[in-house]
Amino acid sequence: MRSHEPVVIDEFNGLWNRGDKENAPMDHFTDCDNVKFPSDNSVGTRDGLGISQTTGVPLSNIKRAYNFPTQTANTLIVLAYDEATDTGTIHHVVSPTVTFGPILTIVGMTDFAFQPYNGRGYISPFGTFVTGELHIEKGLENEKLYVYAGDGTAARTAGGIPITGALTIADGAAGFTDAGFHLFGFVTESISGALSAPGAITGFTTSAANSVSFGTVPATGNPLIVKRHLVATKIITSYNGDPTGYTFYFVANATINNDTDAFLNNISFFDADLLDDASHLLDNYPTIPAGAVLTLYHNRLCLATTFTDISLILVSAAGEPEAISQIDGLIIVPLDGNPITNLQELRDILYVFKRSRTVSYVDNGDAPSSWPLVVVDNALGTCVHGIATVLDSGAASVDYLIVCTFQGVTLFNGRYITPELSFKIEDYWRSLDRFSFRIIQVVNAPVQKEIYIVTPTKRLLVGNYANGMDPKKMKWAPWSYRCFVNTVAIVNIDEIIIGADI
């Protein structure tokens, strides 16, 4: 042995679980549970867990957690589930000492989709439904999309329900209008800026030398309604009795800035002044059905996989997340019996994922229903939480997505890049229960340079990319705890939050 040259291993490169164990490289482990990889190329035991809440009664039995950036802080939105009553409650965790809620309580809510937007949060409750051997995540039956203001008040139904009733209309003081028959109504505006369809529509023949005054303007009784806007048609020469067949316009300077006053007096306008079209609001969903997927694309809120249609995407108007047209705000993804599982924008393209299929749509400047379809991959897709989120910026990191497919953990830049990031642990990944892939959730922690994946075994799989996002340089290690891990999130840039069944 004196002439034997020692083999120097100056770096440990994590788990190797691919092919015969005897073929594992000498600088890898074939058993690598609960280890971490410090920056000095050494290996050590992973850190332990601590309770992130210091309140007297911290939340327990956490099923899902998301990062929620508000106007003033980086916070968490969290789902706790009571199995005994089959009830999910959503809470807003502002800090270790402050928790709001429950802000929403729904029977049967075992999961939810979430999308922050301008300090508000959009919440869509969903569950898992079993059809044969196929598990489908879709919006709960008869449930809807909710919006949370971020201030501790209860989440409210998104969208706008038209006011009902009739107006009292009369000639006002001396003024001006184009003489003739008009239809008038009011559009409500919520605290989040959502506009309803015109309601309380009433006809009246105006006089050229007079303004118009309105009485008995209905109130909604909803404390979240902050304004009511007057809308009108131009002169109708032959009214057919159907108020939905005409174009309505907002009347300038004709707004009631509350939900209590019943009068709006002495409004003058010419038909030529009616420029801001409001008739599209007649086609909008008054309440938006719940789905299993939420994302933003071109400042539009996109919702997919409702209870009644697993291949439908609902797309809002740009800048108006609660205004979704039932006519041209819909995209029907080619039917194949599988539900839409994820949506994500990358490089100005909306990518749509199913379990084993990926397609894309591009905003062509026209209605969403006209956007062209491109098939990206007919074999690979992902699950509802299978695209890595990056802090509070969604799922895209610079110029790629990290996607969990049946094939492995893969970089996606418009196509799936091979070999997969999980190349070294191919056997480990393929040993996971395919029917439980819906449990997977992924986050990317760029400060730690680590990917955290909740696996179907309810453990964490951690991938360290300190040496580069390269399949040959990735270091993998499974982490297990005395509890079952359900969800993982990042708050305050680099604080890892784990939610579990405890």
In terms of Cα–Cα distance, which of 196, 208, 207, 184 is closest to 157? 196
| Helix residue spans in 306-440 (DSSP H) | 426-430
pLDDT of residue 280: 82
Name the amino acid, one letter, at 53: Q
Q: What is this structure's pTM?
A: 0.88
CA 63, CA 73: separation in Å to the nearest integer? Answer: 23
- CA distances (Å), 317 to each of 144, 288, 325, 333, 343, in order? 18, 13, 8, 19, 17
- Is-contact 307 322, C-beta < 8 A? no
- CA geometry: angle 341, 342, 344, nearest 5 deg: 165
Q: Do β-strands 342-346 and 312-317 pair in parallel, antiparallel, or remain unpaired?
A: unpaired
Domain boundary assignment for the chain: 1-49+385-502, 168-283
What tens-digit pLDDT sequence spans the chain (502 residues)? 677 777 777 788 899 999 998 888 988 889 989 999 887 778 889 988 888 887 767 888 999 999 998 888 889 999 999 999 999 999 999 988 899 989 999 999 999 999 999 889 999 999 999 887 788 999 999 999 999 989 999 999 998 888 999 999 999 999 999 999 999 999 999 888 889 999 999 999 999 999 999 999 999 888 889 999 999 999 999 998 888 789 999 999 999 999 999 999 999 999 999 999 998 888 899 899 999 999 999 999 999 999 999 999 999 999 889 999 999 999 999 999 899 999 999 989 999 999 999 999 999 999 999 999 999 999 999 999 999 987 555 554 558 899 999 999 999 999 999 999 999 999 999 999 988 898 999 999 988 899 999 999 999 999 999 989 999 999 999 999 988 999 999 888 888 999 988 7
111 vs 136: CA distance, rounded Å: 12
Three-point CA angle 306, 308, 314, nearest 5°: 40
Give the pLDDT confidence score for residue 398 in this predicted structure: 56
For residue 443, the tally of other CB atoms under 10 A from its CB is 25
Question: CA 193 to CA 196: how far, in whole Å?
Answer: 10
Distance CA 391, CA 452 (A): 12
Do 111 and 315 touch, CB atoms closer than 8 A?
no
